[in-house]
């Protein structure tokens, strides 16, 4: 009886619903929290980011055109997928973050619950963030939230799954498409969760995940002219510089604060569009 | 053709002058900086003149605030925040704002004349739009001051602190109101920097704040040029910057402010005014005129790109040109004036530069035959036909009385052309068919969409842009967010 040999997985990028290796052909070794070799993960390049932005731009209009009800169901479906592979995710989180198994399972549970939370927001955002405005004149005037468009995410470096969910689910739930740079040292939980979008009816390109070296990738992504907003959660000390670069095309910039208002992430990548319509006979 | 003859005869009818009196402005010869509740001399004692753009004559001398003066103002604002305003209840803040609104109404005529003298806009507009809306903004936000916990930003929304506010020259008093009213209602203190060429109405507002007994230092007003604004943006004691102005300056401010300060930006625009074939053409023509010639086209949300459906393009253009020819251009103080003076020689140069590109790139130019005064800064209402999307006059903000006309065939094409801009501030849609209007509105990337109207403003209605037109909203419940720590 020879022992069965494991089938090891290659961790690749998620771009436009497909799993390319980086066009650069590069990969980098990812270690567990304990310092053991885990995998060679695709090391994305500037070109991969550009491809991802193109995919995101094209997917965003489709995603936003779907009904809010439908978007909620898709996100809920993603949560279902994650739940059914919860043990696998927990193992990834445990190894990546060096947690006890119990704590890793709890982290995954919280991440999935957040996905469900965001799934429920899709058809409430307009009511909570929008409204009717009683202007002094014969006009029907209403304000509706609309997505900023394409949001670049520098995902949380430490919280490999929960942090990632927070960074990507908030902009996606309000109708944006996302290009996320996964945690550099701990990318496998995010990559695994992102794989599940392909079986969740999330249109290809709504979530794109590029793994690699954050300090190499982020400066390119935040100045891309077709990116509308930037979440710098995982940018660390480079955040100030990246925020300044993002000013070149007046991008919306989100940076985490200590006393976080639970809706600020949602609001950060939502535009208010106000329509005045005449009233008359 | 009958119509044309008749109208040109009507257009040629003389109007008797109906000027408002310039003496109503009661301007002082010289103004200091409004810091800590009183007018004070700048540390450098440097003054500069604010000109009447309709005559090129100086109206008053105002102080040039240096970085040291800005520091003094920020320190005063911080002290007022810590010692007074953060301890003033919402109910009391509300009453101050109601008072200010009332005082603006009481001194409305004076303010309208000051605004028209300093800015060059027709008295009809400063009297009927700028000043009443400024009062309305204070009235609106007054009511929010003691209801912030109900505004949808959580149970105990806190102010940001000291707000630095930099405003443009196109609606000087109104922009001051847009900035100050929500900031004060939310509990912040302010350092306001008016535009270099239009500081006077803000200084009259400072007198009003004194009359309202607003605690000293709650609002400070520092006049000056770009260096004054830069000192305010860079000051470490400022928690938030609110800027209205050009996209180029907004970009610099966003770079300088980084993420150390909260920031809202109301920047440029290249608004598309979309006309479908079923829209009532007479109303459309008036809407196009309002969209581009209101305030000499010095409006960030101006409808400067007319997108007209091909089937009615000739008819719309014919009637539009006839109407343009009837616009009365001249003395801004005359109550019959439709189009006033260009605000500054620098702006006039920019308008001339960009319109010369219109001709160079092959568009067909129509210029109103109106006579222009000899002195002052003037630009005759101008329409370019045969404009293509790549022309500079279709892409760049001219900020003057210049309209570019493009055509489209299908709603999809209209939306694609309207969105083909780095800006996204405002758009207009003209159609009798509500379903189509809303279909278009859903697809336009713009912060404000006017359906069968244009350039309407109201304190309850959020205003602001997407993309390179900036971020954040002013007006309405949404406008509070910019001044709350949420």
* Closest chain A residue to B264, measured at CA: A252
- pLDDT tens readout for residues A195-251: 999 999 999 999 999 999 999 999 999 999 999 999 999 999 999 999 999 999 999
Domains in chain A (CATH in brackets) are 10-128+148-278 (3.40.605.10)
- Residue numbers in B near A250 (CB within 8 A): 247, 250-251, 254, 265, 267, 467-471
Whole-angstrom distance, CA of residue B49 vs CA of residue B39: 17
Whole-angstrom Cα Rg for chain B? 22
Residues 6+ apart with CB under 8 A from A216: none
In angstroms, what separates the C-alpha of B413 from chain A's closest C-alpha?
16
Which of helix, strand or coil describes residue B166? strand
Exactly one of B266, B396, B474, B481 is catalytic; which is it? Answer: B266
Does B227 touch chain A if contact means CB atoms closer than 8 Å? no
Q: Map tokens 């801009």 to a residue.
A: B421
Q: What are phi and psi of A112, to 5 degrees?
A: -65, -40
Type and span of the H or E element at B11: helix B2-12
CB B140 within 8 A of CB B181: yes
Q: Map tokens 């000739």 to a residue.
A: B314
Does A205 touch chain B if contact means CB atoms closer than 8 Å? no
CB A135 within 8 A of CB B461: yes
Q: What's the pTM value of the predicted model, to 2 decimals? A: 0.95
CB-based burial label for A104 (10 Å; 0-12, 13-18, 19+): buried
Q: Which among A133, A149, A278 has CB closest to B452?
A: A278
Instruction: Please choose, from the candidates B67, B231, B205, the residue with its C-alpha nearest in 3D space to the C-alpha of residue B137.
Output: B205
Does B461 touch chain A if contact means CB atoms closer than 8 Å? yes
Q: For residue B410, what are its two tokens?
A: 């299908």
Q: Map tokens 């507009």 to a residue.
A: B125
Q: Which among B247, B460, B473 has CB closest to A272?
A: B473
In angstroms, what separates the C-alpha of B216 from chain A's closest C-alpha?
31
Q: What is the pLDDT along chain B (486 residues), one digit of tens a residue?
A: 334 444 555 556 678 899 999 999 999 999 999 999 999 999 999 999 999 999 999 999 999 999 999 999 999 999 999 999 999 999 999 999 999 999 999 999 999 999 999 999 999 999 999 999 999 999 999 999 999 999 999 889 999 999 999 999 999 999 999 999 999 999 999 999 999 999 999 999 999 999 999 999 999 999 999 999 999 999 999 999 999 999 999 999 999 998 789 999 999 999 999 999 999 999 999 999 999 999 999 999 999 999 999 999 999 999 999 999 999 999 999 999 999 999 999 999 999 999 999 999 999 999 999 999 999 999 999 999 999 999 999 999 999 999 999 999 999 999 999 999 999 999 999 999 999 999 999 999 999 999 999 999 999 999 999 999 999 999 999 999 999 999
Instruction: Please choose, from the candidates B421, B420, B425, the residue with its C-alpha nearest in 3D space to the C-alpha of residue B465.
Output: B425
């Amino acid at each position: 009886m020879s022992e069965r040999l494991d089938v090891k997985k290659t961790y690749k990028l998620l771009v436009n619903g497909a799993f390319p290796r980086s066009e650069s052909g590069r990969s980098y070794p990812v270690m567990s929290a304990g310092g053991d070799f885990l995998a060679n993960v695709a090391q994305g390049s500037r070109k991969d980011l550009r491809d991802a932005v193109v995919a995101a731009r094209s997917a965003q209009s489709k995603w936003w055109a779907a009904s809010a009800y439908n978007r909620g169901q898709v996100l809920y479906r993603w949560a279902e997928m994650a739940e059914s592979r919860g043990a696998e995710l927990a193992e990834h989180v445990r190894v990546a973050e060096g947690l006890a198994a119990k704590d890793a399972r709890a982290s995954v549970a919280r991440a999935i619950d957040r996905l469900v939370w965001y799934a429920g927001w899709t058809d409430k955002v307009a009511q909570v963030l929008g409204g009717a405005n009683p202007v002094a004149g014969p006009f029907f005037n209403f304000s509706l939230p609309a997505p900023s468009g394409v949001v670049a995410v520098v995902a949380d470096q430490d919280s490999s799954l929960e942090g990632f969910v927070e960074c990507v689910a908030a902009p996606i739930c309000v109708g944006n498409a996302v290009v996320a740079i996964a945690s550099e040292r701990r990318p496998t939980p995010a990559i695994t969760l992102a794989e599940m979008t392909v079986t969740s009816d999330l249109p290809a390109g709504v979530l794109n995940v590029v793994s690699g070296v954050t300090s190499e990738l982020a400066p390119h992504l935040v100045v891309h002219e077709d990116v509308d907003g930037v979440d710098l959660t995982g940018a660390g000390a480079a955040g100030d510089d990246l925020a300044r670069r993002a000013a070149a095309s007046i991008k919306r910039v989100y940076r985490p604060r200590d006393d976080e208002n639970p809706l600020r992430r949602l609001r950060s990548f939502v535009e208010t569009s106000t329509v005045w319509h005449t009233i008359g006979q | 053709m009958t119509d044309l003859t008749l109208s040109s005869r009507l257009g040629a009818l003389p109007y008797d002058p109906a000027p408002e009196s310039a003496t109503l402005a009661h301007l002082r010869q010289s103004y200091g900086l409004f810091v800590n509740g009183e007018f004070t001399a700048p540390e450098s004692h440097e003054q500069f003149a604010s000109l009447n753009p309709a005559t090129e004559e100086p109206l008053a001398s105002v102080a040039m605030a240096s970085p040291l003066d800005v520091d003094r103002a920020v320190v005063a604002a911080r002290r007022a925040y810590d010692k007074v305003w953060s301890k003033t209840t919402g109910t009391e803040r509300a009453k101050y704002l109601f008072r200010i609104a009332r005082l603006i109404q009481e001194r409305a005529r004076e303010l309208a004349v000051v605004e028209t003298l300093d800015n060059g806009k027709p008295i009809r507009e400063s009297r009927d739009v700028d000043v009443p809306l400024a009062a309305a903004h204070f009235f609106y936000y007054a009511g929010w001051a003691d209801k912030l916990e109900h505004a949808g930003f959580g149970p105990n929304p806190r102010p940001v602190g000291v707000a630095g506010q930099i405003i443009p020259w196109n609606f000087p008093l109104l922009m001051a109101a847009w900035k100050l009213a929500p900031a004060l209602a939310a509990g912040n203190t302010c350092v306001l920097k008016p535009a270099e060429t239009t500081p006077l109405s803000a200084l009259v507002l400072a007198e009003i704040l004194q009359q309202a007994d607003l605690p000293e230092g709650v609002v400070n007003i520092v006049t000056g040029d770009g260096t004054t604004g830069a000192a305010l943006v860079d000051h470490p004691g400022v928690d938030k910057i609110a800027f209205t102005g050009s996209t180029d300056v907004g970009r610099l401010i966003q770079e300088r402010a980084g993420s150390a300060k909260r920031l809202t930006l109301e920047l440029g625009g290249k608004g598309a005014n979309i006309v479908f074939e079923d829209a009532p053409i007479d109303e459309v023509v008036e809407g196009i005129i309002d969209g581009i010639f209101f305030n000499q086209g010095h409006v960030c949300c101006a409808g400067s790109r007319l997108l007209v459906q091909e089937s009615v393009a000739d008819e719309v253009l014919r009637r539009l040109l006839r109407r343009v020819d009837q616009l009365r251009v001249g003395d801004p103080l005359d109550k019959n004036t439709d189009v006033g003076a260009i605000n500054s020689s620098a702006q006039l140069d920019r308008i001339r530069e960009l319109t010369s590109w219109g001709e160079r790139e092959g568009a067909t130019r129509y210029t109103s035959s109106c006579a222009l005064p000899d002195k002052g800064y003037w630009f005759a209402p101008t329409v370019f036909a045969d404009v293509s999307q790549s022309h500079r006059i279709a892409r760049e903000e001219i900020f003057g009385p210049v309209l570019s006309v493009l055509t489209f065939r299908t709603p999809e094409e209209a939306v694609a052309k309207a969105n083909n801009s780095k800006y996204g501030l405002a758009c207009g849609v003209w159609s009798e068919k509500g379903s189509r209007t809303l279909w278009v509105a859903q697809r336009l990337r713009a912060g404000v969409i006017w359906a069968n109207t244009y350039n309407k403003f109201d304190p309850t209605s959020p205003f602001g842009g997407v993309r390179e037109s900036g971020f954040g909203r002013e007006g309405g419940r949404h406008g509070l967010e910019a001044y709350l720590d949420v």
